[in-house]
A and B are shown apart, each in its own frame.
Chain A
Amino acid sequence: EVQLVESGGGLVQPGGSLRLSCAASEFTFSSYWMTWVRQAPGKGLEWVANINQDGSEKNYVDSVKGRFTISRDNAKNSLSLQMNSLRVEDTAVFYCARARYPYAATGDYWGQGTLVTVSS
């Protein structure tokens, strides 16, 4: 069974940084696009970013461009999201998801999520 386990969430002050990780197992990680989706408390789902199989192509929602960086380490079956200049409005549960093959951005398997709280 595909497994995705996020970590790295927590409380951070506005303007601060946080790095999220997603450990993948039980599938060939290097063969899939991967994506991050977030959900603010009590709100809907928002796509954040995705990355292709070798990390050469990355896409972001406008609200995080220049602040967030998605990356992956295929040797470690790991996906990351470096978040800088965090804002209160970035407070959300962040999910990593495997993109359904051969697509780039719709998830077929999702992790359980990690909560990021941006507050002073």
Chain B
Amino acid sequence: DIQMTQSPSSLSASVGDRVTITCRASQGISNYLAWFQQKPGKAPKSLIYDASSLQSGVPSKFSGSASGTDFTLTISSLQPEDFATYYCQQYYTYPITFGQGTRLEIK
């Protein structure tokens, strides 16, 4: 199985900050990488697919990039509604796997 390792596991930041979350795949997955945002008690919400394509309706403050087996999600100008848990997911091969999540908290 492909292991997806996110870092950091948790992150404290302030409103207005720019943050980056990293996801490393244990083997090559091309660009078959998605990012999701989840708030407590809610379903995950799609943000990014194909490593860098923005889901329709998602603000451009969210961006994704890829370099080999390393993937990053960048959120610029944090707002209160951005504080949530973020997950990466590879859909290159079965079983489909997620990262363990990164909890973004308000400092």
Residues of A near any B CB (own CB < 8 A) = 35, 37, 44-47, 50, 59, 61-62, 95, 100, 103-113
Contact = CB atoms under 8 A, between A and B. Distances in A.
Nearest to B53: A100
B56 to A, nearest CB: 8
Nearest to A6: B43
Contacts of A59: 94-95
Interface in B19-69: 32, 34, 36, 38, 42-46, 49, 55
B71 interface: no
A45 B90 CA distance: 12
A109 B57 CA distance: 12
B54 to A, nearest CB: 12
- Dominant SS among interface residues on chain B: loop
B43 A45 contact: no
B98 interface: yes
A65 to B, nearest CB: 10
Contact of A61 (B32, B91, B95): B95
A15 B38 CA distance: 31
A109 B87 contact: no
B46 A45 contact: no
Contact of A100 (B49, B87, B94): B49
A113 B39 CA distance: 13
